Structure 1
């Protein structure tokens, strides 16, 4: 097993102090980031579908179509519209939480910018870079790149599950 870096030990210790399993946080973080690009694409597609539907219903006026769907449509159509809009809003909220965690991670004083660049260019950007391309672009050795990536995923998890979500919970419980 490879030796852990001091930064990784620090991130894991902080996760442990918050009562979180660092391996689970690491895997959840990677999973969330792996689907991020597809989810954001799907949301934009759903928004376009709703806009097109409102355009058709509103006789080529999107505002009229939305007003009809929200206020005057038959119950089943209004419920379906509301459900679709709520689903999009909920998903958009999760995307915003991920974005907020990424920005918080970027501000981390040690390697924050590098962590952000690694995750952004591999998971978030429209045209992701491969690991060798990213290692070259950041001008770091591959072994260092893999260390930084692992640290980045742990720190992202800490920002996402340790800080961003609890902040959101406090907003809704206060």
Structure 2
């Protein structure tokens, strides 16, 4: 096993100081980022379907269709429409949280921009690069790339689970899960979105 860098030890210590398990944070961060691209694609498809449904319902007037579905539609149809809109909004919230955490990561003073570039090029960009391609683009050795990627995933976890989520939780305590409940809260996935 490779020796941990000072940066990785620091990130793990920060995670521990927040009362979280560094391995769990690492794996949840990786899971969220792996599904990011598929989830953003799926949500755009669902938004298009909702828009089309409102357009057809409103006689080619989206605003009229939304008003009808929200106020006058039969209960079952209105409930189904509301569930779909809420599901899309909830998923959009997750995407926004991830985006905020990435901005915070990018602003990190030591390797922040490199961390951001690694995660962006592998998980976020519409056209992902392979690990060797990212290493070449960033002009860093492969061994350094893997070290920085591991550090980036840990720091992203700190940014998301340690700062971004708790800040939002303080603003709206009724709607955002706390860190202790986070492990039981369903994360957005393309499969879960398909039920919207």
Higher helix share: 1
Query: Could you say which residue in structure 2 is the equivalent of 1:86?
Result: 86
Query: Could you say which residue in structure 2 is the equivalent of 1:24?
Result: 24
For residues 107-159 of structure 1, the C-alpha deviation after alignment (integer angstroms, 9 at most, x for no partner) is 00000000000000100000000000000000000000000000000000000
Query: Could you say which residue in structure 1 is the equivalent of 2:134?
Result: 134
Give 1:19 shift: 1.0
Query: Could you say which residue in structure 2 is the equivalent of 1:95?
Result: 95
For residues 87-116 of structure 1, the C-alpha deviation after alignment (integer angstroms, 9 at most, x for no partner) is 111110111000000000000000000000
For residues 49-85 of structure 1, the C-alpha deviation after alignment (integer angstroms, 9 at most, x for no partner) is 0001111111111111111111111110000011110
TM-score normalised by L of structure 2: 0.87
Give 1:172 shift: 1.4
The count of corresponding residues between Structure 1 and Structure 2 is: 174
Cα RMSD (Å) of the superposition? 0.9
Query: Could you say which residue in structure 1 is the equivalent of 2:46?
Result: 46
Which secondary structure state, in structure 1, belongs to the residue aligned with residue 172 of structure 2?
Answer: helix
Which secondary structure state, in structure 2, belongs to the residue aligned with residue 173 of structure 1?
Answer: coil
Residues 103-142 of structure 1 aligned to structure 2 (within 5 Å):
103-142=103-142
Query: Could you say which residue in structure 2 is the equivalent of 1:166?
Result: 166
Give 1:173 shift: 3.3
Runs of 4+ in 1 over 6 A off after TM superposition: none
Which secondary structure state, in structure 1, belongs to the residue aligned with residue 145 of structure 2?
Answer: helix
Distance in 2 of aligned mates of 1:20 and 1:67: 45
Distance in 2 of aligned mates of 1:107 and 1:16: 22
